Each structure stands twice: as structure tokens, then as C-alpha cells.
């Protein structure tokens, strides 16, 4: 009964064209993209020997496993530091995305977490959107569209979605700025007094709002659609195990199989030649999340 309800709902979504269109997505699985502009304005050195390589850099990519990040299994993420030698600061590190052409109903989606074992030293950051260009100077006169405020980011991975309606149908540049104030020994210890490290992941710009599963992991890619003898799909993240099932209109499983050790973007091939022409549901489950998508066979 439940699968039948899901099937009916997805048919309505398919017919109405309500799926959000992905305009830009970055999950940092392959490291920091060369198209990103990283600007280190503070010029400070992290107070951690393991991060010495970041003395001259604003952001890097690290595999984050702390505090249940990535659903408990860890995930590559953009990584920035605000704990400097001598408690210097504030941090002023910019990560600027390349140009994105927006649609009529644009949204910016991302996940972030303040990395701090005590929960006290939470990084503060801002997000900017401009139409001018990808240099940091282009953002100086803009007001942030998002600001954590003085208490900083949450200590659990938090998914955020902000409408960019004011920039509809324009070409924009988006910047994440770690702007954490230094620790002050004259103030009480706690959120708002100093920072440590910051993780940002799952940056998605969409035309239309995303559902929760899409915000967490991005979209499942399927081709060709409609399918004939075969269908291929790929995940936007790496997975150690995967199970896929195709359901017919009555909710009955008609084909199923599994795969193991897939990298992000690796194609999985499905033989759909035995299936009669019609509309089905493809369900893909992994240890990091699941997708349910309409599938048309001709």
C-alpha cells in the first residue's frame, strides 16, 4: 500500500514537472575544484602542526568524520580554520564559486558544521551573492544573504536552503566567508568566543526548492529517459554498498540487484529489456541515503 502511494505521488510529480532542476552542485569528492577562487585575507597561521600546510591557504578539502558528519560515515568537505597562533584573528577566508546561471525560482542549498570537540568554539561564517564577478573585491559592498551570527554554526551537520528570488534569471557568484572572531580570555568561554574549524559540503544551486534527500546528497542521475533495453544511473557520492529495486504500478518488485564499492559518478547498468513498456519506480538505497525516482520504459 505504501509503495502504491509513493508511486502515485511520483507520477503526479513527474506529470507536473515539480522536480527541482540542479543548476550547480559540488560535493568535494574529487577535492577542491580549480574553478573556485580561494582568498586568504587574514594571512594567519593555524595553531595546529597538522594544519601547517594551510598557513597560506584559505580553504582546503578534508575528509570529516567528527561529530557524526556525513551521516556518521564521514564525508569530504570544504574545510576552513579559525584557531590561529596567538589567538590571532578574526579569520577572513573566502571560498568563491564560479558563475551560476539562475532560473526563475532559484535556491542555494548547503550543509555545514562547526568542528569543536567541546561544543564551545563554533566558527562564524557568512554567505554572499553578487552579480559582479569572482574576485573578493566584488563582494565588499554586498550584504550577506546568510550570517551565523556571533554564536557560530551548529555542532551537528545542518542543512540550509535560502531562496535567491532577488537574483532570479541572473548570472551570479556565490561566496562563503569564514569570519570568526578570535578567542578573548576576558570573556566567558562558550559559543561566540573564538572558533576552531568549519566544514561546508553539499553545495547545490537549484531552480525550485529541493526535498530533504536531495539537499543531503544531491540528485540521482539516470539515462536514457525513457529507457529501452538498458538504463544507467550514477550516485552523486561514493558508496560501499548499494541495492536497487524496480517496482511496477501495483507496487510489486519486478527487478532487483546490488552493487558494491562505487565512486561518485560511476555508472550502474540495469537491464530493463524484459519489462513491458510503462511507468515504474526505481528505488536506490545506500548506507548514506536513498533515492526514489520515476522510470519510463518504452
Question: 177 and 31 share a domain?
Answer: yes
Give tens-digit pLDDT for 146-161.
Answer: 999 999 999 998 889 9
- Give the total number of structural domains in the chain: 2
Question: 194 and 238 share a domain?
Answer: no
Question: 86 and 113 share a domain?
Answer: yes
What's 273's DSSP letter? T
**What is the distance between the alpha carbons of residues 176 and 167, in angstroms, rounded to a whole number?**
17
Question: 8 and 117 share a domain?
Answer: no
Task: Check if the beta carbon of residue 110 is closer than 8 Å to that of residue 158.
Answer: no
Beta bridge partners of 109: 161, 204
Question: 92 and 157 share a domain?
Answer: yes
What does the pLDDT read at residue 14? 42
Give the DSSP per-residue string, 144-210: PSEE--TT-S-SS-EEEEEE-GGGTTSEEEEEEEE-PPPP-TTS-SSTTS---EEEEEEEEEEES--
What does the pLDDT read at residue 93? 96
Task: Check if the beta carbon of residue 272 is closer than 8 Å to that of residue 231.
Answer: yes
Domain that holds residue 134: 21-210
What does the pLDDT read at residue 29? 84
Give tens-digit pLDDT for 118-135.
Answer: 999 999 999 999 999 999
More confident residue, 50 or 66: 66
**What is the distance between the alpha carbons of residues 285 and 242, in angstroms, rounded to a whole number?**
6
Question: 220 and 281 share a domain?
Answer: yes
Domain termination residue (choose one: 144, 175, 210):
210
CATH number for the domain that contains residue 46: 2.60.120.200
Question: 234 and 284 share a domain?
Answer: yes
Q: How many CB atoms lie within 10 A of CB 186?
A: 5
Question: 272 and 138 share a domain?
Answer: no
Domain termination residue (choose one: 161, 185, 210):
210
Give the DSSP per-residue string, 217-255: H-PPEEESSSBSSEEEEE-SS-EEEEEEEEE-TTS-EEE
**What is the distance between the alpha carbons of residues 85 and 180, in angstroms, rounded to a whole number?**
14
- Nearest 5°: phi and psi at 123? -65, 145
Task: Check if the beta carbon of residue 38 is closer than 8 Å to that of residue 95.
Answer: yes
Angle at 223 between CA 220 and CA 224, to 5 degrees: 155
Give tens-digit pLDDT for 192-211.
Answer: 999 999 999 989 999 988 76
Question: 35 and 154 share a domain?
Answer: yes
45-68 burial: b if 16+ Cβ within 10 Å, else e: bbeeeebeebeebbbbbbebeebe
Domain termination residue (choose one: 210, 240, 273):
210
**What is the distance between the alpha carbons of residues 71 and 22, in angstroms, rounded to a whole number?**
22
Task: Check if the beta carbon of residue 281 is closer than 8 Å to that of residue 246.
Answer: yes
What does the pLDDT read at residue 239? 80
What does the pLDDT read at residue 3? 47
Percent of the chain predicted with pLDDT > 70 = 88
Question: 240 and 184 share a domain?
Answer: no
Confidence of residue 15 (pLDDT cuts 50, 70, 90): very low
Question: 61 and 139 share a domain?
Answer: yes
pTM: 0.71
What does the pLDDT read at residue 152? 97
Please state the rounded mean pLDDT for residues 48-52: 78
Question: 72 and 145 share a domain?
Answer: yes
CATH number for the domain that contains residue 229: 2.60.40.3080
What does the pLDDT read at residue 262? 84
Mean of per-residue pLDDT scores for the chain: 87
Nearest to 129 by CA among 159, 92, 168: 168
**215 membership: H or E segment, kind and range:** helix 212-217
Give tens-digit pLDDT for 281-298.
Answer: 999 988 777 788 889 999
What does the pLDDT read at residue 235? 84
Please state the rounded mean pLDDT for residues 206-230: 76
Amino acid at each position: 500500500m505504501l509503495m502504491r502511494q509513493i508511486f502515485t505521488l511520483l507520477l503526479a510529480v513527474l506529470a507536473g514537472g515539480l522536480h527541482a532542476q540542479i543548476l550547480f552542485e559540488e560535493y568535494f569528492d574529487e577535492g577542491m575544484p580549480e574553478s573556485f577562487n580561494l582568498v586568504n585575507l587574514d594571512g594567519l597561521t593555524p595553531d595546529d602542526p597538522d594544519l601547517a600546510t594551510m598557513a597560506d591557504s584559505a580553504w582546503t578539502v578534508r575528509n570529516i568524520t567528527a561529530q557524526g558528519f556525513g551521516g556518521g560515515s564521514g564525508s569530504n568537505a570544504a574545510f576552513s580554520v579559525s584557531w590561529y597562533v596567538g589567538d590571532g584573528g578574526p579569520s577572513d577566508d573566502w571560498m568563491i564559486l564560479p558563475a551560476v546561471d539562475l532560473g526563475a525560482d532559484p535556491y542555494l542549498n548547503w550543509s555545514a558544521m562547526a568542528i569543536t570537540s567541546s561544543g564551545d568554539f563554533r566558527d562564524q561564517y557568512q554567505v554572499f551573492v553578487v552579480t559582479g564577478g569572482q574576485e573578493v573585491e566584488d563582494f565588499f559592498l554586498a550584504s550577506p544573504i546568510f550570517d551565523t551570527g556571533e554564536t557560530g554554526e551548529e555542532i551537528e551537520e545542518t542543512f540550509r536552503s535560502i531562496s535567491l528570488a532577488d537574483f532570479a534569471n541572473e548570472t551570479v557568484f556565490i561566496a562563503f566567508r569564514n569570519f570568526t572572531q578570535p578567542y578573548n580570555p576576558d570573556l566567558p568561554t562558550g559559543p561566540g568566543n573564538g572558533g576552531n574549524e568549519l566544514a561546508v559540503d553539499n553545495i547545490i544551486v537549484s531552480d525550485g526548492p529541493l526535498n530533504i534527500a536531495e539537499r543531503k546528497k544531491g540528485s540521482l542521475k539516470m539515462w536514457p529517459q525513457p529507457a529501452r533495453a538498458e538504463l544507467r544511473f550514477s550516485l552523486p557520492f561514493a558508496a560501499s554498498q548499494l541495492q536497487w529495486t524496480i517496482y511496477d504500478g501495483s507496487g510489486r518488485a519486478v527487478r532487483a540487484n546490488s552493487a558494491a564499492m562505487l565512486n561518485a559518478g560511476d555508472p550502474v547498468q540495469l537491464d530493463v529489456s524484459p519489462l513491458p513498456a510503462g511507468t515504474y519506480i526505481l528505488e536506490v538505497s545506500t548506507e548514506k541515503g536513498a533515492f526514489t525516482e520515476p522510470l519510463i520504459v518504452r
